[in-house]
Amino acid sequence: MLHASRITDRFAALKAQQRTALIPFVTAGDPTPDATVPVMHAMVEAGADLIELGVPFSDPMADGPVIQRASERALAAGMSFGKVLDVVREFRSRDGETPVVLMGYLNPLEAAGYARAAERAAAAGVDGFLTVDLPPEEGEGFVREVRARGLDPVFLVAPTTSDERIERICGEASGFVYYVSLKGVTGAANLDTGEVAERMARIRRVTDLPVGVGFGIHDGASAARVARIGDAVVVGSAVVARVEANAESPDALPGVLAAFIGELRAAMDAETP
């Protein structure tokens, strides 16, 4: 490999420490463009290992109500793809280590142009793209541009994904793959760790990539259960719900989210030797 990415380096370091990664998701610009960078730093200080940064979109088809509303707040506050990159650039001025993956939908990237979107993202300090409505079958053009800038294309694997497709997806992905542990949209409630463990075994048979597990993790206990089986625990709606609850007082957000991430981190660390 010509280029070891920040994501690959981070997972390698965590593996050496036998530590499961904690990956919080926040929507960039929720509730205001200025609120996000302090939140990102606070979460890293409280134990986040990688950040998934949501790029707001007007029609977030695969998200539940909590993340939909986050997109609406961010767009109402004037967020755009360019401003998301400003957030990353500002974050990078103080943190050169923590990987940042942009998670969102394809149309803003189509509007920017694939090559230009990848170029600008790389320059801002982005490490990867997780584009929810872009399966590998349609992703060739975008993935080529992302890889050409040394960024990682991250893909989803679902409970309904066949073994054949898991192999194909893992062949296209780098950095990590993201196993969505439920069939529903983001923020749905229940979590069957038995089923997740069985699926994880099938994914690991075809890839050495780290596997993140997300959708349905909402507290220390559920994070700890998933920490036993995944290489990374992804927490989205539970984080965003706390942003929403404090949307009127953005200054309180770093403290609130640091406390929540700290709680998850402690519960996860208690699980791993």
Partner 1 sequence: MPKLTNVKAEERLIGRHPDERGHFGPYGGTFIAETLMRPVAELRDAYERYAKDPEFLAELDAELRHYVGRPSPLYHAHRWSQAVGGARMYLKREDLNHTGAHKVNNTVGQALLAKRMGKTRIIAETGAGQHGVAAATVAARLGLECVVYMGAEDIERQAPNVFRMKLLGAEVVSVESGSKTLKDALNEAMRDWVGNVDDTYYIIGTVAGPHPYPMMVRDFNSVIGHEARAQVLEREGRLPDACVACVGGGSNAMGLFHPFLDDADVALYGVEAGGSGVETGKHAAPLSAGRPGVLHGNRTYLMQDSDGQITPAHSISAGLDYPGVGPEHAWLKDTGRATYVAVNDDEALAAFHACTRTEGIIPALESSHALAYAVKLAAGMRPDDIVVVGLSGRGDKDIQTVAAIEGIHL
Closest to partner 1 by CB, 8 vs 131, is 131
Instruction: Look up residue 29 and give its two tokens.
Output: 């610009």
| Distance of closest approach, residue 110 Cβ to partner 1, in angstroms | 5
| Distance of closest approach, residue 85 Cβ to partner 1, in angstroms | 12
**192 flagged as catalytic:** no
| Distance of closest approach, residue 111 Cβ to partner 1, in angstroms | 3
Which candidate in 63, 90, 152, 231 is catalytic? 63
Instruction: Look up residue 168 and give its two tokens.
Output: 């194909």
Closest to partner 1 by CB, 207 vs 269, is 207
Closest to partner 1 by CB, 132 vs 239, is 132
Give the distance, in angstroms, between the CA of residue 91 and the centroid of all CA atoms in the same chain. 16
> Are the C-beta atoms of residues 180 and 62 closer than 8 Å to each other?
no
Report CA-CA distances (Å) from 12 to 99, 155, 163, 180, 208: 13, 19, 26, 22, 12
CA atoms of 206 and 37, how far apart (whole Å): 37
Which candidate in 9, 30, 34, 52 is catalytic? 52
**52 flagged as catalytic:** yes
CA atoms of 177 and 204, how far apart (whole Å): 11
| Distance of closest approach, residue 203 Cβ to partner 1, in angstroms | 12
CA atoms of 269 and 272, how far apart (whole Å): 5
Residues near partner 1 (CB under 8 A) are 57-65, 68-69, 72, 75, 80-82, 105-112, 132-135, 137-138, 155-162, 165, 169, 180, 183-185, 188
CA atoms of 259 and 42, how far apart (whole Å): 9
> Are the C-beta atoms of residues 25 and 264 closer than 8 Å to each other?
no
Closest to partner 1 by CB, 91 vs 105, is 105
| Residues with catalytic function | 52, 63
